[in-house]
Amino acid sequence: MNGVLRLLIVIGGSALLTFAAGRLADLLLRRADARHPETPLWSLLRRCVLPLRLLLLAALLRGSYRQIAWQPLRTHEAAVGRTLSLLTIGAGAWCVVLITSAVVESSYARYAAGTRDPSRLRRVRTQVTLIMRIVTAVVALVAAAAMLLTFPDFRAVGTSVLASAGIIGIVAGVAAQATLGNLFAGFQIAFGDLVRIGDTVVVDGEWGVVEEVTLTFLAVRTWDERRITMPVSYFTGKPFENWSRGGIQMTGTVFLHCDHSAPVPLIRERLKEILDGCAAWDGRGWDLAVTDTTPTTVVLRAIVTAKDPDDLWTARCTVREQLVAWLAEEHPYALPRVATSLAAPVPHGPADSARTARFHEA
């Protein structure tokens, strides 16, 4: 009976202290958030209350469970102590990750509120995302190592593992060459500003927007909502198009094939009218010129500008659609035609003229 009473006192007291500490921490964070609404740090830190309570509860029980004079607990004392140690390490790692995430996200939010440069904002966002992934991976690795060291068998193996660490490192480096290459390529992308989240890129002939960047792979969302997952080493070892580098404004072209009798000045005026009514055109520039001729058509090239790749695509489609509809309605003779009648021979003399006349009579 005495052992059961001690068990209830220890567990109840630890739970009460944990609840009180968590409640106090949440109250202080609420007040700090109300006093400083300009930063989301305090509201983000409130996510740490749950792992903080778990950490305190596990630590209190780990330090006081030996005081319980209860026979079943004494029988499994080593297993209970190891379990509480594992919970303490896991809860501590969880707290570290959440606190770091709150600080990083708060810093990024303040930076985003104070800058108006979209390219720099995407660069910082990419770096912040990768930094958080690195911190999470390192904390998880350290926590896993600390958990393993709580087992006596792993402590005994640790000495021999450290003695052969050099050989194991060489073997692991050769075996994981591709993985390590992607890992270092991820660092190069994050801090070398090669590609950022939100950039418009063309890879392997596919046009899309960078949606996610990790230490090992990069996801590109195409215009038709497909996701292309590629190793980050691709972007450090092969050329690719980044339409967002050096500013996101772009210039595009629209090609039309018309008959040689097409009224180019009227088409140029109609192009200007279409662009004036197109919200995707940014007004920076436009042009229409005859860039090539073939035996049956002339090639017209219309140039349009837009503030970003999405608007450029919309402007090009609008110009192409409305110009073709206008030509079909107002100047159908300007559309390409295929000649199906026989060509008349060229006369060279009286005899040729007579043959020409007989040809027409026939």
Residue range 189-206: average pLDDT? 76
Residue range 67-95: average pLDDT? 74
User: Which of 89, 114, 139 is the last residue in one of the domains?
Assistant: 114
Give domain status of residue 281, yes or no.
yes
Residue range 175-202: average pLDDT? 67
CATH number at residue 270: 3.30.70.100
In the chain, the percentage of residues whose pLDDT exceeds 70 is 72
Residue range 18-26: average pLDDT? 81
- Higher pLDDT: 301 or 1? It is 301
* Full domain range(s) for residue 330: 250-334
What pLDDT does residue 8 have? 67
Domains in the chain, number: 2
Which residue from 309, 317, 308 is spatially nearest to 274, judged by alpha carbons?
317
User: Which of 80, 114, 148 is the last residue in one of the domains?
Assistant: 114
DSSP bridge pairs for 221: 209, 227
The answer to which of 148-152, 308-312, 354-358 has the lowest mean pLDDT is 354-358
Containing H/E element for 203?
strand 200-203
Give domain status of residue 74, yes or no.
yes
- Higher pLDDT: 224 or 262? It is 262
Give domain status of residue 351, yes or no.
no
Residue range 83-103: average pLDDT? 86
The answer to which of 67-71, 76-80, 91-95, 282-286 has the lowest mean pLDDT is 67-71
| pTM, 2 dp | 0.49
How far apart (Å, rounded) are the C-alpha atoms in residues 49 and 350? 107
Give domain status of residue 269, yes or no.
yes
Give domain status of residue 258, yes or no.
yes
Residue range 45-60: average pLDDT? 82
Give domain status of residue 16, yes or no.
yes
- Higher pLDDT: 357 or 204? It is 204
- Higher pLDDT: 317 or 162? It is 317
- The CA–CA distances, whole Å, from 262 to 147, 265, 286, 292, 295 equal 79, 9, 20, 14, 14
What pLDDT does residue 267 have? 92
Give domain status of residue 52, yes or no.
yes
What band does 304 get if pLDDT is binned at 50, 70 and 90?
Answer: very high
Residue range 306-312: average pLDDT? 85
DSSP bridge pairs for 230: 218
| Per-residue model confidence as pLDDT tens digits over 122-166 | 777 777 777 788 788 888 888 887 887 777 766 555 445 444 445
What pLDDT does residue 1 have? 44
What pLDDT does residue 6 have? 65
How far apart (Å, rounded) are the C-alpha atoms in residues 15 and 56? 9
Residue range 92-117: average pLDDT? 82
The answer to which of 71-75, 149-153, 285-289, 357-361 has the lowest mean pLDDT is 357-361
Give domain status of residue 24, yes or no.
yes
Which residue from 102, 130, 249, 226 is spatially nearest to 186, judged by alpha carbons?
130
DSSP string for 87-108: HHHHHHHHHHHHHHHHHHHHHH
User: Which of 114, 132, 148 is the last residue in one of the domains?
Assistant: 114
| Per-residue model confidence as pLDDT tens digits over 238-259 | 778 887 776 677 888 999 999 9
